[in-house]
Amino acid sequence: MMNLRRAGMSVMFFGCMVAVAVGQKAAGARLGDATVVPASPQLVWLDTDIGDDIDDAFALGLILRSPELKLVGISTAFGDTELRARLVDRYLAGAGLGRDVPVTAGVHTVTDNVMTQAAYARRSPARAHGDGVTALLTAIRANPGKLTLIAIGPLFNIGEAIRRDPGTFRQLRRVVLMGGSIDRGYDGEKGERRGADAEWNINRDPAGAQALVGSGVPLYMMPLDSTQVRMDKAGRAKAVAAGTPVADQVALLYQQWSAGTGYENPTLYDPVAVAASFKPELCPATPMRIAVDEKGYTRKLDGEPNAEVCLESKEKEFLELLETRLATEK
C-alpha cells in the first residue's frame, strides 16, 4: 500500500515535541461513561477516508450490519473527497440503502497517495455532494449530546469543524477515534513489534488532532497498540465471500485493494474502533492524558486524563463479531 498506515510500514519522524494544551472533559461527564451502550441504537456519524486501504470498507459494513448503531451521515476525508463520496454512494446502493444515509464530501486535500479503489468509485454516477463539515455540524445541532462521531481517517474535517464552531462540536456525545500510537508502532514486515510511530490518521494533520484532544469532547482512542488485527483466509471466506449485499460490496473493494497492493490479508484497524463503539468490552480502555506533537506523535503525559485509550483489544472475539455480522443477511 502506498501510505504509512495502510502499508503497515514504520516511518520515523524526528523533531521537537510541541506539547499541545489539551482540554478538559465535558462538564459533568466522565469519559468512561460514554462507552455504555444505550437501550436504543446509538446515533453515529462516520468520517472516513474509504478507498485507499480496505479496512474502511469493513468498518462501514460493520456499522450497517450492527443494530446497536444508527448511521445518520457520512463525510469523506483526505485527498479527492468527492471521488470517495462516489464510492460510498455505490457501496450504499449496492447494500440496498440508496440515499437513505446522507453522503457528503469533506475538505479536499492535495496528496500523491494512491486510491486503490478508484475504479469502483468511478462506476457510480458523478453528482454534487454537500459539504461534509457543514453537514456534520448540522447533525450535531439536531442531536445535541446524542451523536457519536466515529473518525477513521485523517482529521482534516474534524479540525475544520472545531475551527468553524467549537461550541457546536462540544455538543457531541463523544468521538471514537482510530488513531495514534502509544507504545506500539506499525508492526514490521514479519510481524515484529516496534516502538511508537507517528500514526497515519494523526500525522496527515497534526493540527486537527491537536484541536480534537483539546476540544473538551469525550475521546475514546484506539491506537496502533490495539488495532493491528489481521484477517486470515478463513475469515475472508466467511465474511467477504458470504454473498450478502454488504459483503458483496466489501468483496469488490477487497479485490481492487488486493490487486493494487499485492496484499491478501487485511489489517483491520478501523473496524476495531467501530466494534468498540458498541461493545466496549472488546477494547477495554485506560484513562490517559494525551498530547500530539507537530510530527504527529501521540504522547502519554502525566496529569488529568483527557482520553480513554485502548492498548489491547480482544482480537479473537472482535474477528468473530465482524465475520458473523458481515455474513448475516439480516
Give tens-digit pLDDT for 41-52: 999 999 999 999
Q: Are strands 103-105 and 219-222 parallel, antiparallel or unpaired?
A: unpaired
The answer to whether 199 and 177 have CB atoms below 8 angstroms apart is no
Give tens-digit pLDDT for 58-100: 999 999 999 999 999 999 999 999 999 999 999 999 999 877 8
Task: Give the global pTM.
Answer: 0.89
Q: For residue 9, is it within any domain?
A: no
Dist CA 139 CA 157 (whole Å) = 14
Give tens-digit pLDDT for 112-126: 888 999 999 999 999
Q: What is the mean pLDDT of the chain?
A: 89
What is the model's pLDDT at position 36?
Answer: 47
Q: For residue 28, is it within any domain?
A: no
Query: Which CATH number characterizes residue 290's domain?
Result: 3.90.245.10
How many domains, the chain?
Answer: 1
Q: And the C-alpha cell for 115?
A: 486510491
Q: For residue 193, is it within any domain?
A: yes
Q: For residue 13, is it within any domain?
A: no
Dist CA 272 CA 79 (whole Å) = 24
Tell me the three state secondary structure of residue 6. helix
Tell me the three state secondary structure of residue 99. coil
Q: Count Cβ atoms below 10 Å from residue 106 Cβ, excluding itself.
A: 31
Q: For residue 39, what pLDDT band results from cuts at 50, 70 and 90?
A: low
Which residue range is the domain that position 240 belongs to?
Answer: 42-327
Q: Are strands 298-301 and 219-222 parallel, antiparallel or unpaired?
A: unpaired
Q: For residue 29, is it within any domain?
A: no
